[in-house]
Amino acid sequence: MAKPRMSSIDGKLAEEFAVPAHVEEVKEKMAAFAGHHVTAGRRVVLITSGGTKVPLESRTVRFLDNFSSGRRGASSAEYFMDSGYAVVFLHRHRSLYPYARMFSNINMLDALKFSGGDGASGNSGEVVVNQQVLPDIARALKRYQEVKEGRLLLPIEFSTLSEYLHLLKAAAQALSAIESKAMFYLAAAVSDFYIPASEMPEHKIQSSNGPLQLSMNMVPKILSPLVKDWAPQAFVISFKLETDPTILLDKARRALDAYRHQAVVANVLDSRRGYVVVVTPETQAELIISDEDVKNDVEIEERIVSNLTSAHNKFITQQGG
Ligand code: PMT
């Protein structure tokens, strides 16, 4: 197997972002998962999902976060598995999770009914699911169990920006062995700013010192070494989020020019559930969810995944895979 190339970002990552203790163990798990599924004739997608947490103090009391719920990543994971992919799900701790996401707003205690017994040991009674409170639970549970039995989903958690960066690098290196059969679907909302460990106060910042002024460094764009050095033969999709729709497509095109990867999924914060544009160097496809689609529970991620799995097929054929 070819050794992964070093990039100028490797040094910065090692020096300025704390390396999670379990990174090598997770890397081996991801490599074994990818190897197993490719041997079984499947493709593997690495999905990043949710926002990153950026600490302001080393003994962290406060941190910067962002809006991302992880819904895009969690629902896309389901559609990828329905399309025959195995999924490495690199997600923010406690963000939305495949299948469970449908019930995230429900208080489980309202969905269960206790009867018989007094709940004490030896007389623990019976707990029954109220399917009116959990609509679709049977379908979701059945599919979740199939996915678990087939070991199609490898969940990996991150919380902080440092964990995200190191685990993504490890994932890229682990999946590089399966070459064009790997897809990277970078839907996480990653902070662009951070405070280097060397400049971070150790203890809780004191409000008695008056108003807080922060100076933050730029986070290295991880897309660059991912495409050039860590997984150069993979099919790589980034996302571009803006709040101003007039600059969105230009920014998406600029990202493709800069990083030379395969596609950008462009979306605007307020309309992200109903409208995205998949931009490639040669094409631009608008994907829209109509009111009728909403009534029929059609989600935009189903269309995004369908568009990208077709493009991935063509990519593999072109690469002679
Ligand atoms: O989670 P939801 O609530 O469902 O919302 C989904 C979403 C809006 C978060 C998702 O659709 C989305 O757009 N994700 C990317 C948001 C984002 O961070 O955009 P960006 O323009 O800042 O970053 C562009 C790309 O560069 C992203 O693919 C990101 O993974 C990547 N990046 C970002 C920062 C960094 N240091 N290195 C990177 O490689």
CB 194 within 8 A of CB 219: yes
Name the residue with higher pLDDT: 237 or 196.
237
pLDDT one-digit tens code per residue, 277-320: 999 999 999 999 999 999 999 999 999 999 999 999 999 999 98
Of all residues in the chain, what percent carry a pLDDT higher than 90? 88
CB 173 within 8 A of CB 1: no
| 171 C-beta neighbours (distance < 10 Å), count | 26
Integer Cα distance of 250 and 12 in angstroms: 29
So what's the pLDDT on residue 122?
Answer: 64
The span from the first CA to the last CA of the chain, in angstroms, equals 17
Residue 84's alpha-carbon distances to 32, 46, 207, in angstroms, are 18, 14, 53
CB 65 within 8 A of CB 89: no
pLDDT one-digit tens code per residue, 81-121: 999 999 999 999 999 999 999 999 999 999 999 887 776 66
Cβ(279) – ligand 1 distance below 6 Å: no
- Nearest residue by C-alpha to atom 17 in ligand 1: 189
Helix (H) or strand (E) holding 193: strand 193-194
Cβ(101) – ligand 1 distance below 6 Å: no
Residue 1 has pLDDT above 90, yes or no: no
CB 146 within 8 A of CB 4: no
What are phi and psi for residue 257, nearest 5 degrees? -65, -40
CB 172 within 8 A of CB 90: no
So what's the pLDDT on residue 2?
Answer: 53
pLDDT one-digit tens code per residue, 165-221: 999 999 999 999 999 999 999 999 999 999 998 899 999 999 999 999 999 999 999
Integer Cα distance of 261 and 237 in angstroms: 7
Count of H-run helices and E-run strands, the chain: 10, 14
Cβ(190) – ligand 1 distance below 6 Å: yes
Integer Cα distance of 17 and 155 in angstroms: 22
CA–centroid distance, 186 to ligand 1, in Å, is 7
CB 91 within 8 A of CB 157: yes
What are phi and psi for residue 205, nearest 5 degrees? -65, 130
Cβ(251) – ligand 1 distance below 6 Å: no
CA–centroid distance, 244 to ligand 1, in Å, is 15
Cβ(187) – ligand 1 distance below 6 Å: yes
Residue of 72, 101, 190 to test ligand 1 pocket, by largest number of atoms within 8 Å of CB = 190
CB 173 within 8 A of CB 27: yes
CA–centroid distance, 232 to ligand 1, in Å, is 20
CB 236 within 8 A of CB 258: no
Q: What is the dihedral of CA 161, 308, 78, 297, to 10 degrees?
A: 110
CA–centroid distance, 51 to ligand 1, in Å, is 8
So what's the pLDDT on residue 124?
Answer: 73
Mean pLDDT value across the chain = 94
Q: What is the CATH number of domain 8-99+134-205+212-240?
A: 3.40.50.10300
